[in-house]
Amino acid sequence: MLRALNHLGVRPPAPLLLPARGRKTRHDPPAKSKVGRVRTPPAVDPTEFYVLTERYRQYRQTVRALRLEFVSEVRRKIKEARTGVLAERKALEDATEHQNLMAWNQAENQRLHELRIERLRQEAREQEQRQEEEKARKAQETQAWVQLKERELLQLQEEAKNFITRENLDARIEEALDSPKSYNWAITREGQVVRPQRKGS
Amino acid sequence: MPRYELALILKAMQRPETAAALKRTLGALMDRGAVVRSLESLGERALPYRMAAHSQRHSRGGYFLVDFYAPTASVDSIMDHLSRDIDVIRPNIMKHPLTQEVKECEGIVPVPLEEKLYSTKKRK
């Protein structure tokens, strides 16, 4: 209403005196000239007052109604989402889906378990086979080694007949002094032995 | 027992004395538990340089090669005995070359010469 009056260009009646704290604080006693001063509240226009209160009451009633309406709608929606028919159906579907998935998982696990057992058995068999092969190979190797050593031993025994002993010491010495050997020779790529020519003593 | 080779350089002597020295040497070897396999003579030759042994200088010597089996602990004593023998110019005992493994020759390894051109030492 006041805004309407402003639009028309009329100034509202200003009060004559406005209370303001100037020099004194609230704890200072009032002046002597203010003894017997009676504060009168501003005059109230009854019609204006009635109109104002009525309008405010209606406004607030409307707003409160709207607010309660909205609040109740929201709460209903929440309750619906939590414990409504759709929610129950969804929960049931979720449960069934979960059960299906668990069953499928169990089946998968079983299948993989069997595959794994099969694979482990296969590996064990292969391992055993490899070990046996290894053993056979080792046995063969040891046998070859033994045969080699036997052959070497026999060869050594043959050569031992030519060793120098105290009996044939003199004879061997004479024989060695009679036949001097020379290692000072080379061999060509064609296999021809080359010895040094006589260059003098 | 491992197989050793004794490369012996004896003093240039007459034949009977050389024979006696050899007999003495081989006897010493056998006394210390060696089994002599064979004895080779490389002849009496001029030494590559004049060698001094037992306060005498030699320019000719007889080269002999003895391969024998001996226990490892007696090699030291054999060497000791041989170094004391005045007829012996130079005794050398080494492992027999025929017992070494025949390693395959890889050929000439190419050396990167550019890396050797500059020194890689850290200079302050």
Beta bridge partners of B62: B10, B44
ipTM surpasses 0.90: no
- Asked whether the predicted pLDDT for residue A10 surpasses 70, the reply is no
Determine the Cα–Cα distance for residues B71 and B35; give it in Å rounded to an integer. 9
Q: What single letter denotes the amino acid at residue A40?
A: T
Instruction: Label residue B32 by pLDDT band (50, 70, 90).
Output: very high
A163 to B36: CB separation less than 8 angstroms, yes or no: yes
A182 to B43: CB separation less than 8 angstroms, yes or no: yes
Q: Would you list the DSSP string of chain B? A: --EEEEEEEEE---HHHHHHHHHHHHHHHHHTT-EEEEEEEEEEEEEEEEEE-SS-EEEEEEEEEEEEE--TTHHHHHHHHHHH-TTEEEEEEEE-GGGS--PPP--PPPP-HHHHHS--PPP-
Model confidence pLDDT, tens digit, residues A109-156: 999 999 999 999 999 999 999 999 999 999 999 999 999 999 999 999
Q: Rounded to the nearest 5°, which phi and psi values hold at B59?
A: -120, -5
Residue in chain A closest to B21 (alpha carbons) equals A173
Instruction: Label residue A81 by pLDDT band (50, 70, 90).
Output: confident
A180 to B35: CB separation less than 8 angstroms, yes or no: no
Model confidence pLDDT, tens digit, residues A157-195: 999 888 988 999 999 999 999 999 889 999 999 999 999
B42 to A174: CB separation less than 8 angstroms, yes or no: no
Q: What single letter denotes the amino acid at residue B1?
A: M
User: Cβ distance B31 to B80 under 8 Å?
Assistant: no
Is B37's Cβ below 8 Å from some Cβ in A?
Answer: yes
Distances (CA, A) of B45 to A133, A142, A181, B42, B59: 61, 50, 12, 8, 9
Distance from CA of A200 to the nearest CA of B (A): 12
B26 to A164: CB separation less than 8 angstroms, yes or no: yes
Determine the Cα–Cα distance for residues A194 and A186; give it in Å rounded to an integer. 5
Three-class SS state of A187? strand
Model confidence pLDDT, tens digit, residues B44-92: 999 999 999 889 999 999 999 999 999 999 999 999 999 999 999 999 9
Nearest residue to A19 (alpha-carbon basis) of A1, A43, A37:
A37
List CB contacts (< 8 A) between B28 and chain A: none
B41 to A177: CB separation less than 8 angstroms, yes or no: yes
What CATH number is given for B3-99 in this structure? 3.30.70.60
Task: Please state the rounded mean pLDDT for residues B4-21.
Answer: 93
The structure's pTM equals 0.57
Determine the Cα–Cα distance for residues B63 and B44; give it in Å rounded to an integer. 6
Domain parsing of chain A, residue ranges: 46-83, 94-161
- Asked whether the predicted pLDDT for residue A95 surpasses 90, the reply is yes
Residue A199 confidence (pLDDT): 62
Model confidence pLDDT, tens digit, residues B85-118: 999 999 999 999 988 888 898 888 888 888 888 8
Task: Please state the rounded mean pLDDT for residues A30-41.
Answer: 91
Distance from CA of A120 to the nearest CA of B (A): 46
Residue A197 confidence (pLDDT): 84
For residue A166, give both structure tokens: 């105290």
Instruction: Label residue A201 by pLDDT band (50, 70, 90).
Output: very low
Is B35's Cβ below 8 Å from some Cβ in A?
Answer: yes
